[in-house]
Chain A
Amino acid sequence: MSNLEKYNQAFMNAFEIGADQLHGLKYQDIEAWDSVGHMQLVAELEDAFDIMMDTDDMIDLSSYENGKEILSKDEYGVQF
Protein backbone atom coordinates (compact mmCIF):
# COMPACT_ATOMS: atom_id res chain seq x y z
CA MET A 1 0.00 0.00 0.00
CA SER A 2 1.32 3.47 -0.82
CA ASN A 3 1.60 6.08 1.91
CA LEU A 4 -1.36 7.93 0.50
CA GLU A 5 -3.44 4.78 0.59
CA LYS A 6 -2.40 4.12 4.18
CA TYR A 7 -3.21 7.72 5.06
CA ASN A 8 -6.64 7.51 3.48
CA GLN A 9 -7.31 4.18 5.15
CA ALA A 10 -6.52 5.66 8.57
CA PHE A 11 -9.21 8.32 8.06
CA MET A 12 -11.71 5.80 6.73
CA ASN A 13 -11.10 3.44 9.66
CA ALA A 14 -11.25 6.14 12.30
CA PHE A 15 -14.45 7.76 11.03
CA GLU A 16 -16.08 4.86 9.14
CA ILE A 17 -16.39 6.92 5.98
CA GLY A 18 -15.79 6.31 2.30
CA ALA A 19 -12.93 7.60 0.15
CA ASP A 20 -15.31 10.09 -1.51
CA GLN A 21 -15.66 12.00 1.79
CA LEU A 22 -11.96 12.59 2.38
CA HIS A 23 -11.21 15.56 0.18
CA GLY A 24 -11.70 18.85 2.07
CA LEU A 25 -12.71 17.10 5.29
CA LYS A 26 -12.17 19.25 8.41
CA TYR A 27 -12.27 18.67 12.15
CA GLN A 28 -15.88 18.81 13.40
CA ASP A 29 -17.29 18.65 9.84
CA ILE A 30 -18.75 15.24 10.53
CA GLU A 31 -20.05 13.82 13.77
CA ALA A 32 -17.40 11.11 13.86
CA TRP A 33 -14.54 13.63 13.80
CA ASP A 34 -15.09 15.09 17.23
CA SER A 35 -12.56 15.07 20.05
CA VAL A 36 -13.01 11.34 20.66
CA GLY A 37 -12.75 10.58 16.93
CA HIS A 38 -9.65 12.77 16.79
CA MET A 39 -7.83 10.49 19.21
CA GLN A 40 -8.89 7.49 17.13
CA LEU A 41 -7.53 9.14 13.99
CA VAL A 42 -4.20 9.86 15.68
CA ALA A 43 -3.99 6.25 16.86
CA GLU A 44 -4.73 4.99 13.32
CA LEU A 45 -2.11 7.28 11.78
CA GLU A 46 0.48 6.32 14.37
CA ASP A 47 -0.11 2.61 13.77
CA ALA A 48 -0.11 2.99 9.99
CA PHE A 49 3.21 4.84 9.85
CA ASP A 50 4.79 3.59 13.08
CA ILE A 51 5.29 7.09 14.43
CA MET A 52 4.44 9.02 17.58
CA MET A 53 3.02 12.48 17.02
CA ASP A 54 3.86 15.49 19.20
CA THR A 55 1.01 16.92 21.22
CA ASP A 56 1.38 20.19 19.25
CA ASP A 57 0.96 18.36 15.96
CA MET A 58 -2.03 16.46 17.33
CA ILE A 59 -3.68 19.77 18.06
CA ASP A 60 -2.69 21.30 14.71
CA LEU A 61 -4.08 18.35 12.79
CA SER A 62 -7.42 19.76 11.74
CA SER A 63 -8.11 18.71 8.16
CA TYR A 64 -7.49 15.89 5.74
CA GLU A 65 -5.17 18.19 3.79
CA ASN A 66 -3.10 19.65 6.62
CA GLY A 67 -2.54 16.19 8.09
CA LYS A 68 -0.44 15.36 5.05
CA GLU A 69 1.71 18.44 5.62
CA ILE A 70 2.21 17.53 9.27
CA LEU A 71 3.23 13.95 8.49
CA SER A 72 5.62 15.17 5.79
CA LYS A 73 7.69 17.00 8.39
CA ASP A 74 11.21 15.67 9.01
CA GLU A 75 10.43 14.06 12.35
CA TYR A 76 7.83 11.78 10.76
CA GLY A 77 9.28 11.61 7.26
CA VAL A 78 6.17 10.35 5.52
CA GLN A 79 6.42 11.05 1.76
CA PHE A 80 3.25 11.45 -0.23
Chain B
Amino acid sequence: MSFDEIVRIAPYSLNKREKEELLTKRLLELTEHHRRQCPAYARMLESIGFDEKHVKRYTDLPFLPVRLFKELDLRSVAEEAVVKTMTSSGTSGQAVSRIYLDRTTASNQQKTMVKIVSEFTGSGRMPMILIDCPGVVKNRAMFSARGAGMLGFSIFASKKMYALDDTMRLDVEGLKEFLANYRGQRILLFGFTFMIWQHFYQELMRLKEEGITFDLSDGIMIHGGGWKKLISEAVSREVFHQRLKEVCGLTKIHDYYGMVEQTGCIYMECAYGHLHASIFSDVVTRRPIDFSECTIGESGIIQVVSAIPESYPGHSLLTEDEGVILGEDDCPCGRKGKYFKIHGRLKDAEIRGCSDTYAEKYQS
Protein backbone atom coordinates (compact mmCIF):
# COMPACT_ATOMS: atom_id res chain seq x y z
CA MET B 1 0.00 0.00 0.00
CA SER B 2 1.61 3.23 -1.12
CA PHE B 3 1.47 6.47 0.79
CA ASP B 4 -0.07 8.14 -2.26
CA GLU B 5 -3.22 6.10 -1.66
CA ILE B 6 -3.29 6.96 2.03
CA VAL B 7 -2.78 10.69 1.60
CA ARG B 8 -5.98 10.91 -0.45
CA ILE B 9 -8.08 9.92 2.58
CA ALA B 10 -9.50 12.80 4.65
CA PRO B 11 -7.34 13.20 7.79
CA TYR B 12 -10.02 12.69 10.45
CA SER B 13 -12.52 10.53 8.58
CA LEU B 14 -11.76 6.97 9.76
CA ASN B 15 -13.06 5.31 12.89
CA LYS B 16 -10.97 3.13 15.20
CA ARG B 17 -11.49 -0.12 13.26
CA GLU B 18 -10.88 1.42 9.82
CA LYS B 19 -7.81 3.30 10.96
CA GLU B 20 -6.38 0.25 12.69
CA GLU B 21 -6.70 -1.80 9.53
CA LEU B 22 -5.03 0.88 7.42
CA LEU B 23 -2.16 1.63 9.78
CA THR B 24 -1.44 -2.02 10.58
CA LYS B 25 -1.06 -2.82 6.89
CA ARG B 26 1.11 0.17 6.06
CA LEU B 27 3.29 -0.03 9.17
CA LEU B 28 3.95 -3.73 8.70
CA GLU B 29 5.06 -2.98 5.16
CA LEU B 30 7.32 -0.20 6.42
CA THR B 31 8.82 -2.51 9.04
CA GLU B 32 9.66 -5.02 6.33
CA HIS B 33 11.01 -2.28 4.05
CA HIS B 34 13.35 -0.92 6.72
CA ARG B 35 14.42 -4.42 7.71
CA ARG B 36 15.55 -4.96 4.13
CA GLN B 37 17.09 -1.54 3.57
CA CYS B 38 18.67 -0.64 6.92
CA PRO B 39 21.08 -3.26 8.29
CA ALA B 40 21.22 -1.66 11.76
CA TYR B 41 17.43 -1.84 11.99
CA ALA B 42 17.44 -5.44 10.79
CA ARG B 43 19.89 -6.34 13.57
CA MET B 44 17.66 -4.68 16.15
CA LEU B 45 14.65 -6.67 14.98
CA GLU B 46 16.71 -9.82 15.02
CA SER B 47 17.99 -9.19 18.53
CA ILE B 48 14.46 -8.97 19.91
CA GLY B 49 13.38 -11.99 17.88
CA PHE B 50 10.76 -10.01 15.99
CA ASP B 51 8.32 -12.12 14.03
CA GLU B 52 5.67 -10.29 12.07
CA LYS B 53 3.31 -13.24 12.38
CA HIS B 54 2.72 -12.13 15.96
CA VAL B 55 1.61 -8.68 14.91
CA LYS B 56 -2.17 -8.46 15.06
CA ARG B 57 -2.33 -4.70 15.11
CA TYR B 58 0.17 -1.88 14.77
CA THR B 59 0.46 -1.49 18.53
CA ASP B 60 2.26 -4.86 18.51
CA LEU B 61 5.10 -3.48 16.39
CA PRO B 62 8.47 -2.75 17.99
CA PHE B 63 9.36 0.88 18.68
CA LEU B 64 12.75 2.55 18.74
CA PRO B 65 13.61 5.14 21.36
CA VAL B 66 13.89 8.56 19.63
CA ARG B 67 17.26 8.97 21.31
CA LEU B 68 18.67 6.34 18.97
CA PHE B 69 18.68 8.85 16.11
CA LYS B 70 21.22 10.87 18.07
CA GLU B 71 23.52 7.95 18.53
CA LEU B 72 23.25 6.18 15.21
CA ASP B 73 23.04 7.23 11.58
CA LEU B 74 19.92 5.35 10.57
CA ARG B 75 19.12 5.39 6.87
CA SER B 76 17.08 3.13 4.60
CA VAL B 77 18.23 4.73 1.37
CA ALA B 78 21.59 5.19 -0.30
CA GLU B 79 23.54 8.21 0.84
CA GLU B 80 23.21 9.80 -2.62
CA ALA B 81 19.42 9.69 -2.36
CA VAL B 82 19.38 11.92 0.73
CA VAL B 83 18.16 15.39 -0.24
CA LYS B 84 17.70 16.86 3.21
CA THR B 85 18.97 16.17 6.70
CA MET B 86 16.82 17.35 9.55
CA THR B 87 18.20 17.90 12.99
CA SER B 88 16.37 18.23 16.26
CA SER B 89 16.78 21.48 18.08
CA GLY B 90 19.55 21.16 20.61
CA THR B 91 21.62 23.73 22.36
CA SER B 92 25.35 23.20 22.49
CA GLY B 93 26.20 20.28 24.69
CA GLN B 94 23.07 18.42 23.73
CA ALA B 95 23.17 15.67 21.18
CA VAL B 96 20.99 16.23 18.11
CA SER B 97 18.98 13.74 16.12
CA ARG B 98 19.79 13.39 12.45
CA ILE B 99 16.94 12.40 10.20
CA TYR B 100 17.72 11.61 6.57
CA LEU B 101 15.10 12.40 3.95
CA ASP B 102 14.92 11.36 0.34
CA ARG B 103 12.69 13.02 -2.24
CA THR B 104 9.68 10.78 -1.58
CA THR B 105 9.69 11.05 2.20
CA ALA B 106 10.30 14.82 2.17
CA SER B 107 7.46 15.36 -0.27
CA ASN B 108 5.08 13.08 1.65
CA GLN B 109 5.83 15.01 4.83
CA GLN B 110 4.83 18.25 3.17
CA LYS B 111 1.67 16.78 1.60
CA THR B 112 0.58 15.35 4.92
CA MET B 113 1.18 18.54 6.82
CA VAL B 114 -0.87 20.51 4.30
CA LYS B 115 -3.75 18.01 4.49
CA ILE B 116 -3.84 18.17 8.29
CA VAL B 117 -3.47 21.92 8.71
CA SER B 118 -5.99 22.68 5.94
CA GLU B 119 -8.63 20.97 8.08
CA PHE B 120 -8.18 23.83 10.53
CA THR B 121 -7.33 26.81 8.35
CA GLY B 122 -9.11 25.99 5.09
CA SER B 123 -7.11 25.19 1.98
CA GLY B 124 -6.67 28.74 0.74
CA ARG B 125 -3.39 30.54 1.29
CA MET B 126 -3.35 33.73 3.32
CA PRO B 127 -1.00 36.51 4.41
CA MET B 128 1.22 35.04 7.07
CA ILE B 129 3.27 36.39 9.94
CA LEU B 130 6.09 34.15 11.07
CA ILE B 131 6.93 34.95 14.66
CA ASP B 132 10.63 34.27 14.34
CA CYS B 133 13.71 35.77 12.73
CA PRO B 134 14.72 35.23 9.09
CA GLY B 135 18.03 33.74 10.25
CA VAL B 136 16.30 30.55 11.29
CA VAL B 137 16.17 29.17 7.73
CA LYS B 138 19.62 30.34 6.73
CA ASN B 139 21.42 27.02 6.49
CA ARG B 140 19.42 25.36 3.78
CA ALA B 141 20.89 21.89 3.79
CA MET B 142 20.72 21.43 7.55
CA PHE B 143 17.38 22.30 8.95
CA SER B 144 16.75 22.66 12.59
CA ALA B 145 13.28 21.71 13.72
CA ARG B 146 12.54 25.42 14.06
CA GLY B 147 13.58 26.18 10.51
CA ALA B 148 11.70 23.19 9.16
CA GLY B 149 8.57 24.31 10.96
CA MET B 150 8.82 27.81 9.54
CA LEU B 151 9.46 26.57 6.05
CA GLY B 152 6.84 23.82 6.14
CA PHE B 153 4.14 26.22 7.22
CA SER B 154 5.23 28.86 4.68
CA ILE B 155 3.33 26.94 2.02
CA PHE B 156 0.15 28.49 3.48
CA ALA B 157 1.48 31.99 2.99
CA SER B 158 0.30 34.10 0.07
CA LYS B 159 2.66 36.78 1.37
CA LYS B 160 4.80 36.43 4.44
CA MET B 161 6.77 38.50 6.87
CA TYR B 162 9.10 37.65 9.72
CA ALA B 163 7.88 39.51 12.77
CA LEU B 164 11.29 39.48 14.46
CA ASP B 165 14.67 40.64 13.29
CA ASP B 166 17.82 38.61 13.84
CA THR B 167 18.25 40.12 17.29
CA MET B 168 14.73 38.84 18.11
CA ARG B 169 13.21 42.31 18.28
CA LEU B 170 9.67 42.85 17.05
CA ASP B 171 9.62 44.72 13.75
CA VAL B 172 6.88 47.15 14.79
CA GLU B 173 6.88 49.24 11.61
CA GLY B 174 6.97 46.17 9.40
CA LEU B 175 4.07 44.67 11.27
CA LYS B 176 1.98 47.84 10.99
CA GLU B 177 2.60 48.01 7.27
CA PHE B 178 1.85 44.33 6.71
CA LEU B 179 -1.44 44.51 8.59
CA ALA B 180 -2.44 47.70 6.75
CA ASN B 181 -1.71 46.06 3.39
CA TYR B 182 -3.86 43.04 4.15
CA ARG B 183 -6.63 44.63 6.16
CA GLY B 184 -9.84 42.65 5.94
CA GLN B 185 -8.09 39.38 5.13
CA ARG B 186 -7.62 36.53 7.53
CA ILE B 187 -4.02 36.48 8.72
CA LEU B 188 -2.15 33.33 9.67
CA LEU B 189 0.38 33.60 12.49
CA PHE B 190 2.89 30.86 13.16
CA GLY B 191 5.60 30.49 15.75
CA PHE B 192 6.97 28.58 18.67
CA THR B 193 5.11 28.91 21.93
CA PHE B 194 7.87 30.41 24.02
CA MET B 195 8.96 32.84 21.31
CA ILE B 196 5.42 34.06 20.85
CA TRP B 197 5.16 34.74 24.54
CA GLN B 198 8.57 36.28 25.03
CA HIS B 199 9.07 38.30 21.86
CA PHE B 200 5.57 38.91 20.56
CA TYR B 201 3.08 38.99 23.40
CA GLN B 202 5.37 40.77 25.88
CA GLU B 203 6.26 43.36 23.28
CA LEU B 204 2.62 43.92 22.31
CA MET B 205 1.87 44.48 26.00
CA ARG B 206 4.62 47.07 26.24
CA LEU B 207 3.46 48.79 23.06
CA LYS B 208 -0.10 48.86 24.33
CA GLU B 209 1.05 50.93 27.30
CA GLU B 210 2.51 53.37 24.79
CA GLY B 211 -0.82 53.48 23.02
CA ILE B 212 0.20 51.35 20.04
CA THR B 213 -2.23 48.50 19.44
CA PHE B 214 -2.70 45.83 16.82
CA ASP B 215 -5.97 44.20 15.86
CA LEU B 216 -5.58 40.52 15.07
CA SER B 217 -9.15 39.52 15.85
CA ASP B 218 -9.50 37.98 12.41
CA GLY B 219 -6.23 36.07 12.71
CA ILE B 220 -5.54 32.41 13.27
CA MET B 221 -2.47 31.38 15.24
CA ILE B 222 -0.69 28.04 15.11
CA HIS B 223 2.04 27.43 17.65
CA GLY B 224 4.06 24.50 18.92
CA GLY B 225 7.29 23.44 20.49
CA GLY B 226 6.68 22.87 24.16
CA TRP B 227 5.34 24.60 27.24
CA LYS B 228 8.02 23.87 29.79
CA LYS B 229 9.36 27.37 30.26
CA LEU B 230 5.91 28.95 30.24
CA ILE B 231 4.55 26.50 32.78
CA SER B 232 7.46 27.41 35.04
CA GLU B 233 6.36 31.04 34.68
CA ALA B 234 2.82 29.93 35.56
CA VAL B 235 1.55 30.60 32.05
CA SER B 236 -0.99 27.89 31.34
CA ARG B 237 -2.83 27.32 28.06
CA GLU B 238 -5.77 29.28 29.47
CA VAL B 239 -3.58 32.24 30.44
CA PHE B 240 -1.86 32.17 27.03
CA HIS B 241 -5.21 32.30 25.23
CA GLN B 242 -6.70 34.90 27.56
CA ARG B 243 -3.72 37.27 27.35
CA LEU B 244 -3.39 37.11 23.58
CA LYS B 245 -7.08 37.84 23.27
CA GLU B 246 -6.73 40.84 25.56
CA VAL B 247 -3.71 42.31 23.84
CA CYS B 248 -4.66 41.88 20.17
CA GLY B 249 -8.08 40.26 19.97
CA LEU B 250 -6.75 36.91 18.74
CA THR B 251 -9.19 34.09 19.53
CA LYS B 252 -8.38 31.30 17.10
CA ILE B 253 -5.29 29.71 18.57
CA HIS B 254 -4.15 26.15 17.89
CA ASP B 255 -1.27 24.44 19.62
CA TYR B 256 0.28 21.45 17.90
CA TYR B 257 2.41 18.53 18.96
CA GLY B 258 5.00 17.03 16.68
CA MET B 259 8.64 16.14 16.39
CA VAL B 260 11.37 16.29 13.82
CA GLU B 261 11.66 12.49 13.84
CA GLN B 262 8.14 12.30 12.39
CA THR B 263 7.80 15.57 10.53
CA GLY B 264 4.55 15.98 8.64
CA CYS B 265 2.38 14.07 11.08
CA ILE B 266 1.53 16.86 13.42
CA TYR B 267 -1.16 16.67 16.05
CA MET B 268 -3.33 19.78 15.92
CA GLU B 269 -5.31 21.13 18.83
CA CYS B 270 -9.05 21.60 18.27
CA ALA B 271 -11.28 24.28 19.74
CA TYR B 272 -11.85 22.05 22.78
CA GLY B 273 -8.16 22.06 23.62
CA HIS B 274 -7.59 18.45 22.53
CA LEU B 275 -4.67 17.33 20.38
CA HIS B 276 -5.88 15.09 17.53
CA ALA B 277 -4.24 12.15 15.77
CA SER B 278 -4.95 12.05 12.04
CA ILE B 279 -5.20 8.84 10.03
CA PHE B 280 -1.57 9.29 8.92
CA SER B 281 -0.21 8.63 12.38
CA ASP B 282 -1.18 7.67 15.90
CA VAL B 283 -0.20 7.98 19.52
CA VAL B 284 -0.10 5.09 21.96
CA THR B 285 0.51 5.60 25.69
CA ARG B 286 2.63 3.03 27.51
CA ARG B 287 3.26 2.15 31.14
CA PRO B 288 6.88 2.88 32.15
CA ILE B 289 7.09 -0.34 34.14
CA ASP B 290 6.63 -2.83 31.28
CA PHE B 291 5.67 -0.73 28.22
CA SER B 292 2.24 -2.30 28.11
CA GLU B 293 -0.49 -0.15 26.60
CA CYS B 294 -2.31 2.26 28.89
CA THR B 295 -6.08 2.54 28.90
CA ILE B 296 -7.91 5.74 28.00
CA GLY B 297 -7.44 8.25 30.81
CA GLU B 298 -4.29 6.60 32.16
CA SER B 299 -1.07 8.63 31.79
CA GLY B 300 1.95 7.02 30.20
CA ILE B 301 4.94 7.43 27.90
CA ILE B 302 3.98 8.51 24.39
CA GLN B 303 4.74 6.21 21.48
CA VAL B 304 4.17 7.66 18.01
CA VAL B 305 3.69 5.81 14.75
CA SER B 306 3.70 7.43 11.32
CA ALA B 307 2.81 6.06 7.90
CA ILE B 308 5.31 8.38 6.18
CA PRO B 309 8.96 7.45 6.86
CA GLU B 310 10.53 5.45 4.02
CA SER B 311 14.06 6.87 4.02
CA TYR B 312 14.78 6.23 7.72
CA PRO B 313 13.37 3.62 10.13
CA GLY B 314 11.33 6.06 12.20
CA HIS B 315 7.79 4.80 11.65
CA SER B 316 7.40 3.62 15.25
CA LEU B 317 9.13 5.55 18.03
CA LEU B 318 9.04 5.84 21.77
CA THR B 319 9.24 9.51 22.70
CA GLU B 320 10.47 11.04 25.94
CA ASP B 321 7.11 12.70 26.52
CA GLU B 322 4.37 11.83 28.90
CA GLY B 323 0.69 12.21 28.16
CA VAL B 324 -2.78 10.79 28.31
CA ILE B 325 -5.31 9.63 25.73
CA LEU B 326 -8.58 11.38 26.50
CA GLY B 327 -10.80 9.49 24.11
CA GLU B 328 -11.22 8.09 20.63
CA ASP B 329 -13.67 8.92 17.81
CA ASP B 330 -15.87 10.96 20.15
CA CYS B 331 -14.39 14.45 20.56
CA PRO B 332 -17.16 17.05 20.54
CA CYS B 333 -15.36 18.80 17.65
CA GLY B 334 -16.45 15.90 15.41
CA ARG B 335 -13.02 14.68 14.33
CA LYS B 336 -12.47 10.95 14.46
CA GLY B 337 -9.37 9.31 15.88
CA LYS B 338 -7.68 9.58 19.26
CA TYR B 339 -7.48 12.85 21.12
CA PHE B 340 -5.01 13.45 23.89
CA LYS B 341 -3.03 15.76 26.08
CA ILE B 342 0.72 16.04 26.61
CA HIS B 343 1.94 16.51 30.18
CA GLY B 344 5.52 17.30 29.17
CA ARG B 345 8.93 15.65 29.14
CA LEU B 346 9.56 12.63 31.28
CA LYS B 347 11.59 13.45 34.34
CA ASP B 348 15.32 12.98 33.72
CA ALA B 349 14.84 13.06 29.96
CA GLU B 350 16.86 15.62 28.08
CA ILE B 351 15.15 18.92 27.39
CA ARG B 352 14.59 19.05 23.69
CA GLY B 353 11.43 20.79 22.51
CA CYS B 354 12.18 23.55 19.97
CA SER B 355 10.62 26.15 22.15
CA ASP B 356 12.19 24.66 25.25
CA THR B 357 15.80 24.57 24.09
CA TYR B 358 15.50 28.17 23.04
CA ALA B 359 13.90 29.05 26.35
CA GLU B 360 16.85 27.54 28.19
CA LYS B 361 18.88 30.59 27.27
CA TYR B 362 16.38 32.64 29.21
CA GLN B 363 16.94 31.01 32.58
CA SER B 364 17.09 33.84 35.03
Contact = CB atoms under 8 A, between A and B. Distances in A.
Contacts of B106: 35
A1 interface: no
A55 B84 contact: no
A28 B106 CA distance: 11
Nearest to A43: B159
Contact of B151 (A27, A39, A62): A39
**Which range contains the number of A residues in contact with the other chain?**
10 to 19
The listed residue with most A CB atoms (<10 A of its CB), out of B83, B106, B137, B155, is B155
A59 B110 contact: yes
Interface string B318-334: 00000000000000000
B93 to A, nearest CB: 28
A49 to B, nearest CB: 14
Contact of B156 (A27, A28, A55): A55
A34 B84 contact: yes
B137 A55 contact: no
A6 B107 CA distance: 27
A62 B108 CA distance: 13
SS of B interface (majority): helix
A59 B84 contact: no
Contacts of B83: 28, 34
A25 interface: no
B144 interface: no
Nearest to B110: A59
B33 to A, nearest CB: 21
B114 interface: yes
Question: Top 8 nearest A-B pairs by Cβ distance?
Answer: A28-B83, A55-B114, A36-B140, A55-B155, A59-B111, A34-B140, A35-B151, A39-B154
Given A35-B84, A39-B155, A55-B114, 10 more contacts: A34-B84, A36-B140, A36-B151, A52-B125, A52-B158, A54-B123, A55-B123, A58-B155, A59-B107, A59-B110
